[in-house]
A and B are shown apart, each in its own frame.
Chain A
Amino acid sequence: QVQLQQSGPGLVKPSQTLSLTCAISGDSVSSNSAAWHWIRQSPSRGLEWLGRTYYMSKWYNDYAVSVKSRITINPDTSKNQFSLQLNSVTPEDTAVYYCAREWNRQLQYWGQGTLVTVSS
């Protein structure tokens, strides 16, 4: 059974960097058959896909155009986890952030969600 455990601060100041981590159990971040996603949810934007990282002989990333200049998703093979960094946040980045595992094209397993509020 795959489990994803999210961690990170729930409050970030405007213009600073949002950083979250998703720890994986029951699978490997380096799996050739999985991809690792970040998705956020807010009342104004609904469910919004942010990006993913995956390993297929080398590491790849895909990012949403809306955040492409500000986002980094990194795998950490030593800790079997992956992270989200979103720079220069504004109150519009306030949302519940989820990590998720894609396998066979399905987002089958999700983290518990982290409410991140951007406020001074």
Chain B
Amino acid sequence: DIVMTQSPDSLAVSLGERATINCKSSQGVFHSSSNKNHLTWYQQKPGQPPKLLIYWASTRESGVPDRFSGSGSGTDFTLTISSLQAEDVAVYYCQQYYTTPYTFGQGTKLEIK
């Protein structure tokens, strides 16, 4: 199985400041047939299912604010929130869909400083 490791486990950022979450996969998730990185970022708020934010490592889902961006390739990926808003408080997960079993990172809890 591909192991997904996120850092940090928790993060406190001031409103309006940048938040950066990292995700590392135990093997590359770039698929040559699609020429894409098979990596997704989710946001999860209490009592809700995960919400798709970013797919193909850097493509923003429709309706997701442009302060959210994804980057990286191969085994190392980053989710960046350029200017933290109060509604961004949540747990964020990365997930690979390069191969089954699909696997998730352990989550990063983002709070307001």
Decide yes or no whether B25 CB sits under 8 A from chain A. no
Given A110-B50, A112-B49, A105 contacting B103 (CB threshold 8 A) = no
Interface SS of chain A: helix, strand, loop or mixed?
A: strand
Q: B61–A108 contact, CB under 8 A?
A: yes
Total A-B residue contacts, Cβ distance less than 8 Å: 49
Among residues 44 to 103 in chain A, which have CB atoms less than 8 Å away from a CB atom of chain B?
46-49, 52, 62, 64-65, 98, 100, 102
Segment of B65-73, B77-85, B94-102 in the binding face: B94-102
Q: Are B104 and A113 in contact (CB under 8 A)?
A: no
Pick the residue among A46, A64, A108, A112 that contacts B52 (CB under 8 A). Answer: A108
Q: How far is the CA of A64 from the CA of B49 in the complex (A)?
A: 20
Whether a CB of chain B sits under 8 angstroms from the CB of A120 is no
Measured between beta carbons, the chain B residues less than 8 angstroms from A46 are 104, 106-107
Give B97 Cβ to nearest chain A Cβ, in Å: 5
Q: Please report the C-alpha to C-alpha distance between residue A64 and residue B2 in the assembled complex, in whole angstroms.
A: 13
Q: Would B49 and A47 count as touching, CB distance under 8 A?
A: no
Nearest A residue (CB) for B59:
A106
Interface residues on B, range: 10 to 19
Q: Contact between B101 and A65 (Cβ–Cβ < 8 Å)?
A: yes
Q: A46 CA to B93 CA in the complex, in Å?
A: 10
Q: Name the residue on B nearest A108 (C-beta).
A: B52
A49 touches B100 (CB 8 A): yes
What residues on B are CB-neighbors of A62 within 8 Å?
A: 100-101
Interface residues of A (CB under 8 A from B): 37, 46-49, 52, 62, 64-65, 98, 100, 102, 104-108, 110-113
Q: Which B positions have Cβ atoms within 8 angstroms of A?
A: 1, 38, 40, 48-50, 52, 55, 61, 93, 95, 97, 100-104, 106-107
Extra A-B contacts (15), CB below 8 Å, given A37-B102, A49-B102: A46-B106, A47-B104, A49-B103, A49-B104, A65-B101, A98-B49, A105-B97, A106-B40, A107-B52, A107-B95, A107-B102, A110-B50, A112-B49, A113-B48, A113-B49
The 9 residue pairs across chains A and B that have the minimum distance between CB atoms: A110-B49, A47-B104, A49-B102, A64-B101, A62-B100, A106-B55, A49-B101, A105-B97, A108-B52
Q: Would you give 28 A-B contacts (Cβ < 8 Å), ordered by A?
A: A46-B104, A46-B106, A46-B107, A47-B50, A47-B93, A47-B107, A49-B100, A49-B101, A49-B104, A52-B100, A62-B100, A62-B101, A64-B100, A65-B1, A102-B97, A104-B55, A105-B38, A105-B97, A106-B40, A106-B52, A106-B55, A107-B40, A107-B50, A107-B97, A108-B52, A108-B61, A111-B49, A113-B48
